[in-house]
């Protein structure tokens, strides 16, 4: 998956107008992100950067034996990677309470839910790709990451906030 992150970044960094409109509308648009990644992953498969992928893949939870759905199951360099997507609109343009800390809570909306779901599934290559728009400032980001429950501290971003413009941060979390 690390090999795909630069492709994902390049793809979405060409979409500044989209992020501006989404932020102005204070809109979480995970469906759009999934659609864009379908197109990108299809191209990457055609160019053999990506061996295969499946959207809305069903996998078995080792916790309860139940089938769980993940946004994408990818085959990269002979390895299976499971990936969840998150759209984190933090503009609060419509007066919503959705600031960065809103998405770091342990509830049914934020990152912690996806971290927990992926932690229940066997395998070593688990990812959450979070599109944060507009990009938070570094102190806000550090404080939010520090607020994660201790059981989630093994999740780490492999992308750096400083490598992104002020209108988006693509946080690639590896669990």
**pLDDT at residue 161, rounded to an integer:** 97
Domain ranges of the chain: 5-174
Residue 116 parent element (H or E): helix 111-119
- Structure-derived torsion over alpha carbons of residues 160, 163, 165, 170, reported in degrees to the nearest 10: -40
pLDDT tens string 81-112: 999 999 999 999 999 889 999 999 888 878 99
pLDDT tens digits for range 52-69: 999 999 988 887 878 889
Is the sign of the CA dihedral 162, 167, 172, 173 positive or negative? Answer: positive
pLDDT at 81: 96
Query: In angstroms, what is the C-alpha Rg of the chain?
Result: 16
Which residue is associated with the tokens 């390895």? 79
């Amino acid at each position: 998956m690390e090999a795909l992150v630069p492709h994902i970044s390049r793809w979405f960094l060409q979409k500044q107008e989209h992020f501006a409109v989404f932020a102005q509308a204070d809109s979480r648009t995970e469906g759009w992100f999934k659609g864009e990644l379908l197109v990108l992953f299809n191209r990457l498969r055609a160019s053999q950067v990506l061996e295969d992928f499946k959207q809305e893949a069903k996998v078995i939870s080792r916790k309860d034996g139940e089938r769980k759905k993940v946004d994408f199951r990818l085959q990269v360099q002979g390895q299976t990677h499971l990936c969840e997507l998150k759209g984190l609109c933090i503009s609060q343009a419509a007066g919503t309470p959705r600031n960065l800390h809103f998405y770091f809570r342990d509830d049914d909306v934020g990152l912690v839910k996806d971290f927990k779901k992926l932690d229940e599934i066997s395998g070593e290559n688990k990812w959450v790709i979070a599109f944060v728009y507009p990009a938070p400032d570094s102190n806000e980001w550090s404080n939010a990451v520090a607020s994660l429950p201790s059981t989630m501290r093994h999740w780490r971003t492999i992308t750096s906030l400083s490598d992104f413009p002020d209108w988006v941060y693509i946080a690639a979390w590896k669990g």
